[in-house]
Amino acid sequence: MIERDAAGRKIDMKYLENFHELKSLTRKQKFFLLSLIPIYFIVIGLMAQPIQEIIPGMIAIIREPDFLITDYFVVGGVGAALINAGVLTLMSIGIIYCMGMDMDGHTITSSFLMFGFSLFGKNILNIWAILAGVYLYASYHRASMRRYIYICLYGTSLSPIITQMMQMGSGPLPLRLMLTLGVGLVIGFVLPPLSTHVHYAHMGYSLYNVGFAAGIIATVIVSIKKSFGMEVESRLIWSTGYSQMFALLLLLLFGCMIICGVAVGGKGIFESYKRILQTYGISGADYLKDEGGATTVFNMGINGLFATCFILAVGGVLNGPTICGIFTVAGFASTGKHLRNIAPIMAGVYLASFTKKWSISDPSPLLALLFSTTLAPVAGEFGVLAGLAAGFLHSSVALNVGILYGGMNLYNNGFAGGIVAIFMVSVLQSVRDRRARARGGLSL
């Protein structure tokens, strides 16, 4: 059917009807579209490294100790690292899909985090014991695994402990396997209750809640190891030379996300995006549910583009760890982060670099710059100045708390962010309440 618009131009209404159907995808179509992102990087991985080097690279990734900071681009090569990340992400998406769950914001966030951290810490072998531990917890409480699946996936931040346990000592392999499995089951079993409990401490103002819980678990485990005389070595494996390649790839990806969001959402997407910008972003937000897929993808593209350009602007490099940070900023754009609440936090970390002994382009500060956005809700609710202060504090805390657990918690900034949130939010709320009472003629 052909109609004409107000200017007299012909419009194929059948084409527009088909295009409009993109706004109401089926469950299968949604999961397929999400799967295209890891597939995109798997294809790139196959082109970036000779095929005959990829399998040895994957084996090296599995064998290498992977506590912070271990860049898989160096350990196994770019191709092997991207394929490891892509395969793990597809497996995570597949697990959620096969459980019959509908897609929500956390489906996207957990998938992006799984991809990002599989570039420097998670691999196809070291995540399963922790997943089994969470399953054991759900079975013990006779609850559906659906209730804990996202804690389960986020909790693989402790996977370096699994690799470390496998390589501990020179005992028989069966004994080390049993010990490693036992530790993984314990980690997974205690993650759900601890994650629930610590959430009340920071009240949702740190988005990496499981990272905070994981930091506590890692501190306990590493403390026990040290008490038996077993030391955890620090390391820094950090690649350079890939910035130009991945700048093009990431700008293409996030640019396409922005364009697709506008194409599907139409003019209404800007009003919808404004509503996202007005939210605080406190943990529990779900922009996919509230504003729909087009606006969520648009927000993710904006966040990813901003984070990528920020890293390049401050002289940082694009490698496994920094791409992970960028994917974390983009992934949480479906569950709390947006340009208005991440920019002050990142600016606070950047400003801190002028007053402290480190450079913003150094590895740890560069990661703190990206992962500091766990505190986005602080800026979202309390404003720009609070956000700058939060970023400034986070840059100090994040660069020092890793001493507690020797880099065994991949979500180091989640632990640091929880500490900063607990410290700042209680003070900010007290000041705000005092002012409100003063305006109302009340005294404390």
pLDDT digits (tens, 9 = 90+) for 203-252: 999 999 999 999 999 999 989 888 877 777 778 999 999 999 999 999 99
Q: What is the model's pTM?
A: 0.91
**Residue-level pLDDT at 195:** 94
**Residue-level pLDDT at 25:** 84
**Residue-level pLDDT at 13:** 44
> Where residue 175 falls among pLDDT bands split at 50, 70, 90?
confident
Residues 6+ apart with CB under 8 A from 15: none
338, pLDDT greater than 60: yes
Find the mean pLDDT for residues 372-378. 97
**Residue-level pLDDT at 364:** 94
Q: Which helix (H) or strand (E) holds 55?
A: helix 51-63
20, pLDDT greater than 50: no
Q: Provide, rounded to the nearest whole percent, the portion of the chain with pLDDT above 90.
A: 78
**Residue-level pLDDT at 169:** 67
Q: How many CB atoms lie within 10 A of CB 244?
A: 10
Establish whether the linkage from the previous residue to 42 is cis, with ω within 30° of 0: no
Alpha-carbon torsion angle 400, 403, 408, 409, nearest 10: -30
339, pLDDT greater than 70: yes
Which region among 310-319, 338-347, 433-442 has the lowest average model confidence (pLDDT)? 433-442
> Where residue 165 falls among pLDDT bands split at 50, 70, 90?
confident
Would you state the structure tokens that stand for residue 169, as one six-digit string? Answer: 């000592």
Find the mean pLDDT for residues 133-138. 96
Find the mean pLDDT for residues 100-119. 96
**Residue-level pLDDT at 437:** 58
Q: Distance (Å, rounded) from C-alpha 130 to C-alpha 303?
A: 30
What average pLDDT does the structure give for the chain?
90
Bridge pairing between strands 2-4 and 10-12: antiparallel
16, pLDDT greater than 70: no
**Residue-level pLDDT at 431:** 85
Residue 7 burial (10 A CB sphere; 0-12, 13-18, 19+): exposed
330, pLDDT greater than 70: yes
Do 360 and 315 contact (CB within 8 A), yes or no?
A: yes
Q: Distance (Å, rounded) from C-alpha 321 to C-alpha 145?
A: 30
191, pLDDT greater than 80: yes
Residues 6+ apart with CB under 8 A from 329: 303, 304, 306, 307, 337, 342, 370, 373
Find the mean pLDDT for residues 277-300. 95
Q: pLDDT digit string (tens) for 391-428? A: 999 999 999 998 888 888 999 999 999 999 999 998 99
389, pLDDT greater than 80: yes
**Residue-level pLDDT at 438:** 53
Which region among 27-36, 40-49, 174-183, 338-347 has the lowest average model confidence (pLDDT)? 174-183
Q: Distance (Å, rounded) from C-alpha 280 to C-alpha 300?
A: 16
